[in-house]
Amino acid sequence: MRFFEFNSIKPTGPLSPEQARIKSLKDQAKRAQAAVKAERARQKIQAGQRELTKVESTKKMTSNSFKAQYKMNNPYSSWMTAGTYRNFNDALAAALRKKKAGAIVVRVEDGAKMVIYSS
């Protein structure tokens, strides 16, 4: 700012008690509005976090199980389940045991029914 711009600012005197009360009520209303806005934002974030946790837990539950399946007689028969396992290695071992026992085709699929291994 330039020096002459300081001259245009005039000092104000103290507020009267009535004016001070009105000013404090206005300030209090502004703080309350800001608090309401912040609380809404906090609740929105919390709801989003709950939804994300719900989706992630659903995803974990579906991908935590693996099925070992096989077809014994011919490729046109339905899939038979050798078992459901908590990890991929156990399901793969069961599928390979069935293959060794004479199954024509074996596969491992996860909880979302995606084929992970096929032979």
Taking the whole predicted model, whether its pTM rises above 0.85 is answered as no
Q: What is the pLDDT of residue 36?
A: 96
Check residue 54 and give its pLDDT.
Answer: 84
- How far is it, in rounded angstroms, from Cα 100 to Cα 113? 24
Q: What is the pLDDT of residue 108?
A: 95
pLDDT given for residue 111 in this prediction:
85
pLDDT tens, N- to C-terminus, the chain (119 residues): 566 666 666 667 888 999 999 999 999 999 999 999 999 999 999 999 999 888 877 665 555 789 999 998 888 889 999 999 999 999 999 999 999 999 999 999 988 889 999 98
The residue extents of the domains of the chain are 15-62, 64-118
Question: What are the start-end ranges of the E strands in 1-119?
Answer: 66-71, 80-85, 105-110, 115-118
SS (H, E, C) 86-97: CCHHHHHHHHHH
Tokens of 52: 């994300």
pLDDT of amino acid 63: 57
| CA distance readout (Å), 99 to 14, 63, 76, 88, 115 | 93, 24, 16, 16, 16
